[in-house]
Structure 1
Amino acid sequence: MNVRFQRGVMALALAVLLAGCSDGGKPGTVGKDLKAVGGLHVAVIPKGTTHEFWMSIHAGAIKAQKEYEAQGVSVRLTWKGPIREDDREQQIQVVEGFLSQGVNGIVLAPLDASALVRPVQEAKGAGIPTVVIDSALASGDAVSFVATDNEKGGSLAADRLGMLLGGKGRVLLLRYQEGSASTEAREKGFLDRMKAQYPAVQIVSADQFAGPTRDTAKRASENLLNRFGNQVEGIFTPNESSTAGMLLALQDVGKAGQIKFVGFDSSEAFITAMRNKQLDGVVLQNPFEMGYQGVKTMVAHLKGQAIQARVDTGVTIVTPDNLDTEASKALLNPPLSEYLK
C-alpha cells in the first residue's frame, strides 16, 4: 500500500468519524462541533409559492442568511412549500420530508391552524424546533410566533372604510378560506371594529369565501357582485388573492371606483388601481421583515440565545394619499431582485 493511498484511507475514516459524532444521533440537535463552526440547516416553509407576499418572505429570509454569512456563521436555507394555499396535505408532506432530512430548525407559515399541529409536534419530538410565521398555530409547540397583529389590520380596514362611507352604508366582506388563522383574525378585527365604531354600517354579506387563488376569488367576487352589486357601497377583502380577484371582478362589470374598496397586502396591480382611484387602500404587513425575523429568531434559538415568544412585525394602511411617502414605498416595493436572483 503506497503512502498516498494510506493517507486517503485515513482522511476518509476521519471524515466518517466526525460526521458520525457531530449531532449526537438526534436529527435536530446541533452538536458541539457544528455549533463551533455555526453550520446550521433551516427549512423555510410558506403557505404557498406563487403570491408576491411569499416572495417577499423568501427575500427577507435570504437577507438574514447573508448577514450570518458575513459574520462567519454558515446558515443553509431550504425554501419549499405547496403551490396552492389550500393544499394542506402537501404542506404536511413538506414538513415531514424535512424531518427525515434532519434539518436543525423549521420556519413555518401554517396554512391551517389545526392541520399542522401534529407535524410540528412530531418535529419537536425529533428535537427540531419550529418558529411559526404569518399565521398562528393552535398549539404551544412552536418556540416563537413572528407575525402581523392581524386583528389590528382588520380594524384599520374598518376605520378606512367607515371613514370613506361617512359612518353609514352597506358593506360586504369576502373572506379568504376556512382554517387560515391570519385571515380569520383580520376578518374578526374588521367585523368587531365595524360593530363597535360604525353601528350604522350594515354588513350585507360576510359568509362567503374567496378560496386560495386569484381565479377562485374572482369567481366568488362575481357571484357576490351579481347578488349585491347594486346594494353595496363598500367592500373589504383580507389578503392578496382575494383583493386581486375582487378588483378584477369590479373592473369587468364596470364598478371599479364606484364602490369603496379596501384590500390587504401589496402588488403592482394594487398600486396601479390606487392611482386610478379603483382601490381606496390596502392594509400592509411587512412580509420581508417577517421572513427576516423568522430566520433570525430560529438561528438565535439554535445558538442557545434568548428569543421572544411573540415578534410583531407591524401593520399599516396605505391609501392614494400616502402612496408616495418613503415609508409606503419601502413596504410596497421590497428589494426582491436584490435577494431572489
Structure 2
Amino acid sequence: MSNKKRILSAALLLIAAAFLLSYAFGREDREKKQLSIIFISKTIDDSDFWTQLIDGARMAAEEYEVKFSVCAPETEDDYVRQNELIEQAILEKPDAIVLTPSSFTETTPMAEKIVENGIRLFLLDSEIDTKVAECMISTDNIKAGRLQGEFVKEILRPDSRIAVVAHVKNSSTAMEREQGLREGLGSDTEKIADVVFCDSNYDKAYQLMLQILAEHPDVDVVVGLNEYSAVGAARAIVDKGLAGKISFVGFDSSLEEIKMLEGGIFRGMVIQNPFKMGYLGVETAVKALNGEKVPDQIDSGSVLITRENMYLDENQEMLFPFKGE
C-alpha cells in the first residue's frame, strides 16, 4: 500500500473515531436524566402563605428545568393522609422529596423511609424529631416568636392578660413560636391566661376566640401564631366590637392581615417570606443533587411589622413579594 493510501486510510479512521465519540457524547447528553422532585406540602389551599410558598417552589422548578409535582392533604394536621402521600411518592422514585411535615413526631417514620429508599430528603417550613434530612429551610420560628413576645411585652399594662391562639398542636412551628413568645415575654409569661389550637382553621379560631372572651373577660392582648389563627381570632374580636380595645399581634402577611394592620385591628405582626422559602427549598435540593455542598439549615427570614414601619421599602418588599425576580 502506498504512503498516500496509508495516510488516507488513517485520516478516514480518525474521522470515523471522532464521529463515533461525538455521537456517543451527544447521545449521553440527550439521555441525561431530568431531575425529578416531588413536593409534599402540609396542605394546598387559598391562604396566602401556602399559595406563595408553592409559587416559589414552582418558580425554582421552572428555572432549573426540574420535573416537579406537588401533593398535599386537605388540612395541615392530617398527618395520616400525608404519610400515605409520602408512601406513594416513594414508589415514584424521584431524585428528591421536599417535605413540609404535618407532625413533629408522626411524620418521622415516613421521613426515615424516604432516606432508606435512597431518595434525597429536604424539609421545608417545619421540622421532625430526628435529623434525617440533608437541609432544613424555614423561618427561625423561635426567633420569630421571640419578636412577638418582645413586642407584646412593650404594650402590656400591669394588669394585662394574654390569650394565645396557635395553629396545629405538636407541629414544630407552633411549638417553636410559642417557645419564642414565652422567651420574649420573660417574667410576663405568667400573664398568659390561655393557649388554644385552631388546627389552622379560620372558623375554629373564630369560635375559640369567642370562648376565650367569655371565659377570660380580662384578656386585653391576643397573639395569633399563624395566618389562620390570627385572622380567625381577629374577625371574632371585630364582630364583638372590641377592635382597638384588645391589642392584637398577628403572624404572617395575608392581604386581610395587612388590611387589619392598616386599620388598627393589629398592633403588629411578624411576617415570614414563604415565596423565598419555597424557592430555596427546590433550589437547595437541585444544588445538592448536582453535587454542591449545601448547609444543613437555612433561615428564610422574619421581621416584625407595625403601622409605623410597614411602608418602609424593605418591609413593602416582604409584604408584597415580587414573583418575577
TM interval, shorter chain, is 0.7 to 0.9
Deviation string 1:107-138 (CA, Å, 9 cap, x unpaired) is: 11101011111111111111101100111111
| 1:76-91 matched pairs, under 5 angstroms | 76-91=67-82
Cα distance in 1 between the residues matched to 2:244 and 2:31: 59
Aligned partner (choices 204, 219, 236) of residue 193 of structure 2: 204
Cα distance in 2 between the residues matched to 1:147 and 1:167: 35
Contact 2:153-2:184 within 8 A present in 1 as well: no
Q: Does residue 55 of structure 1 match 2:51?
A: yes
Contact 1:286-1:314 within 8 A present in 2 as well: yes
Pick closer, same or farther for the CA change 1:223–1:305 going to 2, 3 Å: same
Pick closer, same or farther for the CA change 1:35–1:118 going to 2, 3 Å: farther
Cα distance in 2 between the residues matched to 1:57 and 1:33: 35
Deviation string 1:202-249 (CA, Å, 9 cap, x unpaired) is: 11113x222231111111111111112x30221111111000110111
Aligned partner (choices 245, 254, 259) of residue 232 of structure 2: 245
Cα distance in 1 between the residues matched to 2:28 and 2:209: 56
Cα deviation for residue 35 of structure 1 reads 11
The aligned amino acid for 1:227 is E
Cα deviation for residue 56 of structure 1 reads 0.9
Q: Does residue 121 of structure 1 match 2:117?
A: no
The residue number in structure 1 matching 2:38 is 43
* Secondary structure of the structure 2 residue equivalent to 1:298: helix
* Secondary structure of the structure 2 residue equivalent to 1:283: strand
Contact 1:85-1:213 within 8 A present in 2 as well: no
The aligned amino acid for 2:207 is R
The aligned amino acid for 1:216 is K
> What CA RMSD, in Å, does the superposition of the two structures yield over aligned residues?
2.0
Pick closer, same or farther for the CA change 1:202–1:35 going to 2, 3 Å: farther
Cα distance in 1 between the residues matched to 2:314 and 2:212: 34
Aligned partner (choices 62, 65, 72) of residue 66 of structure 1: 62
The aligned amino acid for 2:40 is I
Aligned partner (choices 208, 215, 235) of residue 203 of structure 2: 215
The aligned amino acid for 1:262 is V
What are the ranges of 5 or more consecutive residues in structure 1 without an aligned counterpart?
A: 1-31, 69-73
Cα distance in 1 between the residues matched to 2:257 and 2:311: 14
Pick closer, same or farther for the CA change 1:53–1:35 going to 2, 3 Å: farther
Cα deviation for residue 95 of structure 1 reads 1.1
Cα distance in 1 between the residues matched to 2:118 and 2:306: 45
Deviation string 1:275-307 (CA, Å, 9 cap, x unpaired) is: 111111110111111111111111111111101
Q: Does residue 300 of structure 1 match 2:287?
A: yes
Contact 2:160-2:218 within 8 A present in 1 as well: no
Cα deviation for residue 82 of structure 1 reads 1.2
Cα distance in 1 between the residues matched to 2:73 and 2:262: 33
Aligned partner (choices 157, 165, 170) of residue 161 of structure 2: 170
Deviation string 1:15-47 (CA, Å, 9 cap, x unpaired) is: xxxxxxxxxxxxxxxxx9689846111011111
Contact 2:148-2:184 within 8 A present in 1 as well: no
The TM-score with structure 1 as length reference comes to 0.83
| 1:103-114 matched pairs, under 5 angstroms | 103-114=94-105
Contact 1:158-1:194 within 8 A present in 2 as well: yes
The aligned amino acid for 1:79 is V
Cα deviation for residue 147 of structure 1 reads 0.8
The residue number in structure 1 matching 2:88 is 97
* Secondary structure of the structure 1 residue equivalent to 2:77: coil
Cα distance in 1 between the residues matched to 2:186 and 2:77: 30
Pick closer, same or farther for the CA change 1:34–1:329 going to 2, 3 Å: farther
* Secondary structure of the structure 2 residue equivalent to 1:39: coil
* Secondary structure of the structure 2 residue equivalent to 1:131: strand
The aligned amino acid for 2:56 is G
What are the ranges of 5 or more consecutive residues in structure 2 without an aligned counterpart?
A: 1-26
The TM-score with structure 2 as length reference comes to 0.86
The residue number in structure 2 matching 1:147 is 138
The residue number in structure 2 matching 1:24 is none
The aligned amino acid for 1:219 is Q
Pick closer, same or farther for the CA change 1:35–1:239 going to 2, 3 Å: farther
Q: Give the paired residue count.
A: 298
Contact 2:76-2:168 within 8 A present in 1 as well: no
Q: Rg bigger for which structure?
A: 2
